[in-house]
Copies of this chain bind each other. A is one copy, B any other.
Amino acid sequence: MSGLRIAEIFGPTIQGEGALIGEPTVFVRVGGCDYRCSWCDSLHAVDPAYRGTWRRMTTGEVWAEVERLSGGRPLTVSLSGGNPAIQDFGPLIALGRAAGYRFACETQGSVARDWFAALDTLVLSPKPPSSGETVDWDGFAECLAAARGCGRVVMKIVIFDEADYAWARAAATRHPDLPLYLQPGNPVVDPEAPVEPQSLADSLLWLVERVTSDGWFAPRVLPQLHVLLWGNKRGV
């Protein structure tokens, strides 16, 4: 069966994290991932147990839904997941860009695609030790090479603990030219569980103090605003 595997399409809402934080965005969240991070906050788009909830959609169907949600007014479309790079979003990007929309893609950087070059923003999020995954830096470099021509490429790293922090410093040394965004991990992944805004503030404060006390001024440090706004609720 052909087509794109889509977990959900929702918005417009604001991008809650990273380089495009605050930007009005429609999200196309794909189903399927080559990773299984221990703290994944999007299991419904990753765990094959949820496969029955994913829809097979043609590029035209996905585009029609983005147009409907945005009222036909160009905005940023974020391809997230799961890992969008295991599917072919080249035709969707071409369709959308012809209509004046901008495209961002968030991926761990494990699979390179030629359509990376057609993006406005590529966010590569290599996963730190707490994820239980291991980064293939050669694959990551292939993603960077594929993205030549892309508007901009940034690196985003989630930090849960000291080991992640040390790992992020090493990753930054490896790719000093990539703008870097750090974000405290969200230990609450149950969509039904409440998230206390204060705990979000506390984890951000820890990371801000960690970075500034080290005199490490290269990364931007940002929280997940969508968690502040909506907890772990889906579709927002």
Contact = CB atoms under 8 A, between A and B. Distances in A.
Interface of A: 11-14, 21-24, 70-71, 73-76, 181, 197-198, 200-201, 204-205, 208, 211-212, 215-217, 219-223, 225, 228-229
B217 A74 contact: yes
A221 B181 contact: no
Contact of A215 (B73, B221, B225): B73
Per assembly, the copies of the chain total 2
Q: Classify the interface of chain A: helix, strand, loop or mixed.
A: mixed
A73 B22 contact: no
Given A21-B21, A71-B215, A223 B225 contact: yes
A181 to B, nearest CB: 7
A180 to B, nearest CB: 11
A65 to B, nearest CB: 16
B181 A22 contact: yes
B217 A229 contact: no
Of A23, A198, A228, the most chain B CB neighbours within 10 A belong to A228
Contacts of A13: 208, 212
5 contacts: A22-B222, A74-B217, A197-B228, A204-B225, A222-B225
Contacts of A12: 212, 215, 217
A76 B24 CA distance: 27
A76 B118 CA distance: 31
A30 B130 CA distance: 43
Contacts of A221: 14, 22, 24
A74 B215 CA distance: 9
A70 B217 contact: yes
A216 B81 CA distance: 26
A204 B198 CA distance: 16
Contacts of A204: 225, 228-229
Given A14-B208, A223-B225, A24 B197 contact: no
B229 A205 contact: yes
A142 to B, nearest CB: 28
Contacts of A197: 197-198, 200-201, 228
B22 A220 contact: yes
